[in-house]
């Protein structure tokens, strides 16, 4: 494999993506805000704390069970703002269209994008369209950027995990990745599973109403829960201990992963949030999550420890331990 060219691995959100950022982007672009490498940047303007983020969507297929590239482009960006505790307000949308895209498909995607924005309470306030010749893109790619306001007193960042924090998740892992793969050409398996793609800002607002001791929030998208937890362990210089018996996975995801040779811990989610909460507030935050439609299956999956800083360790169901590393290699190209 050529090492001097971009590989699919570089887009997988795991180790190769991090290496690419460190080699090609950070040296040229770095500043204190970018260097934090959080889901959204946080900036203070005239006393107002703004969150800003951007993301591009290249999912294949463009329509999948539980969503499409239009709703995904809203949810992903709204969620990255929510992961700073921000109230998402405004989005920009850039469309890159391939010559030959069926107009009815574009209209369906735009309707879905608009419905997702209404549901999340955000407005698309600026947009752009480009068309490239047939074969120079795959039907449609979408970029969205978003801005929101971080309420006073909310300080959530990947750097803020501390020993003792409980690690919570709002439901089972891997639904999005498996739902998208189930419709991919060349991979034929049947599942009733739908993507978990959803806007998390309402759930996060409810959680913040229950506790100001929420230290970290992260949506485990590409690279899955395992990669997100490794990022947080490194950013906060803490260890994370997971209990295998507590990791929530639907039977349909377990079955699909076994067939495809995947691990649910590494499969993408688009409606999940990992929350690091001070131990004294963990139960009240879990209760609030459990009474929200997007958190009915919320549970605690582990805790932050002083041991093994920068590493995530899994206590297995048979009583052993193993290190859970970041995703390495390309597991699922074009999953989001």
Positions that interact with Mg ion (CB under 5 A)? 39, 80, 219
CB of 88 or CB of 182, closer to Mg ion: 88
Q: Whole-number minimum distance, CB 219 to Mg ion, in Å?
A: 4
Whole-angstrom Cα distance, residue 58 to residue 53?
17
Min CB(158)–Mg ion separation in Å: 10
Asked if the peptide bond before residue 65 counts as cis, ω within 30 degrees of 0, the response is: no
Q: 279-290 and 201-210 helices cross at what angle (nearest 10)?
A: 140
Closer by beta carbon to Mg ion, 39 or else 175? 39
Judged by beta carbon, residue 39 or residue 68, the one nearer Mg ion is 39
Tell me how crowded residue 299 is: count the other CB atoms within 10 A of its CB.
17
- Shorter beta-carbon distance to Mg ion: residue 171 or 256: 171
The nearer residue to Mg ion, 9 or 39, going by C-beta atoms, is 39
Contacts of 159 (CB under 8 A, 6+ apart): 36, 235, 236
Closer residue to Mg ion, CB minimum distance, 196 or 219: 219
Residue 54 beta carbon to Mg ion: minimum distance, rounded to whole angstroms: 11
Neighbours of 238 (CB within 10 A): 24
CB-nearer residue toward Mg ion: 38 or 182: 38
Give the position of tokens 């929350």: 275
- Using the minimum distance from each CB to Mg ion, give the nearer residue, 223 or 252: 223
Name the minimum Å distance from CB 28 to Mg ion.
22
Task: Please report how close the Cβ of residue 204 comes to Mg ion at its closest, in angstroms.
Answer: 12
Closest residue to Mg ion, based on beta-carbon distance: 39
Q: How far is the CB of 313 from Mg ion (least distance, A)?
A: 23
Q: How far is the CB of 56 from Mg ion (least distance, A)?
A: 13
Q: Of 129, 81, 78, 88, nearest to 106 (Cα)?
A: 129
Nearest distance in Å: CB 39, Mg ion: 4
Task: Please state the closest distance from residue 107 (CB atom) to Mg ion, in A.
Answer: 28
User: 38 or 112: whose CB is closer to Mg ion?
Assistant: 38
């Amino acid at each position: 494999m050529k090492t001097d060219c971009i590989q699919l691995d570089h887009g997988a959100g795991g180790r190769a993506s991090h290496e690419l950022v460190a080699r090609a982007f950070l040296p040229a672009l770095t500043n204190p805000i970018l260097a934090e490498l959080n889901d959204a940047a946080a900036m203070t303007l005239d006393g107002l704390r703004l969150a800003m983020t951007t993301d591009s969507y290249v999912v294949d297929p463009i329509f999948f069970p539980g969503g499409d590239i239009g709703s995904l482009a809203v949810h992903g960006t709204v969620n990255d703002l929510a992961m700073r505790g921000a109230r998402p307000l405004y989005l920009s949308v850039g469309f890159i269209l391939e010559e030959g895209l069926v107009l009815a498909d574009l209209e369906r995607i735009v309707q879905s994008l608009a419905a997702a924005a209404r549901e999340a309470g955000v407005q698309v306030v600026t947009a752009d369209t480009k068309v490239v010749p047939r074969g120079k893109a795959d039907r449609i790619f979408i970029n969205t950027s978003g801005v929101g306001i971080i309420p006073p007193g909310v300080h959530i960042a990947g750097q803020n995990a501390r020993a003792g924090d409980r690690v919570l998740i709002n439901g089972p892992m891997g639904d999005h990745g498996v739902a998208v793969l189930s419709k991919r050409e060349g991979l034929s398996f049947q599942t009733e599973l739908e993507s978990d793609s959803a806007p998390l800002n309402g759930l996060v607002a409810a959680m913040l109403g229950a506790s100001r001791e929420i230290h970290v929030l992260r949506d485990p998208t590409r690279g899955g829960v395992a990669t997100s937890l490794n990022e947080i362990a490194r950013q906060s210089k803490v260890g994370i201990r997971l209990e295998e018996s507590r990791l929530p996975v639907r039977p349909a995801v377990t079955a699909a992963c076994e067939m495809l040779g995947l691990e649910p811990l590494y499969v993408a989610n688009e409606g999940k949030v990992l929350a690091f909460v001070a131990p004294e507030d963990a139960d009240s935050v879990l209760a609030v999550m459990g009474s929200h439609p997007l958190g009915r299956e919320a549970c605690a999956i582990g805790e932050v420890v002083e041991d093994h800083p920068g590493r995530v360790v899994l206590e297995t169901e048979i009583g052993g331990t193993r290190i859970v590393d970041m995703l390495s290699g390309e597991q699922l190209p074009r999953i989001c």
